[in-house]
């Protein structure tokens, strides 16, 4: 199982995928907002979205799991 992790603290501004979507390596899957900047979080590996662990508007810390791929 592959996890997509927040690389910095911020608010989940937009989730770009839904459960069941296929994603490619380096595809943006979540956009975080921190200090009025949008930070694209990308999948490190290809796979299908198994579970989304966060909601839009939620605050996450660096290292939090955002979603899981299978």
For the stretch 33-55, pLDDT in tens is: 999 999 999 999 999 999 999 99
For the stretch 55-69, pLDDT in tens is: 999 999 999 999 999
Query: What is the rounded average pLDDT for all residues in the chain?
Result: 96
Domain region containing 7: 2-69
pTM over 0.85: yes
CATH of the domain at 56: 2.40.50.100
Using the CB atoms, write b or e for 18-57: b if 16+ within 10 Å. eeeeebeeeeebbbbeeeeeebebebeeebebeebebeee
Domains in the chain: how many in total? 1
């Amino acid at each position: 199982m592959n996890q997509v992790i927040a690389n910095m603290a911020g608010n989940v501004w937009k989730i770009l995928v839904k459960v069941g979507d296929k994603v490619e390596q380096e595809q943006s899957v979540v956009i975080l907002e921190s200090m009025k900047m949008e930070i694209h979080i990308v999948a490190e590996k290809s796979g299908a979205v198994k579970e989304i662990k966060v909601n839009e508007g939620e605050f996450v810390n660096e290292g939090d799991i955002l979603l899981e791929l299978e």
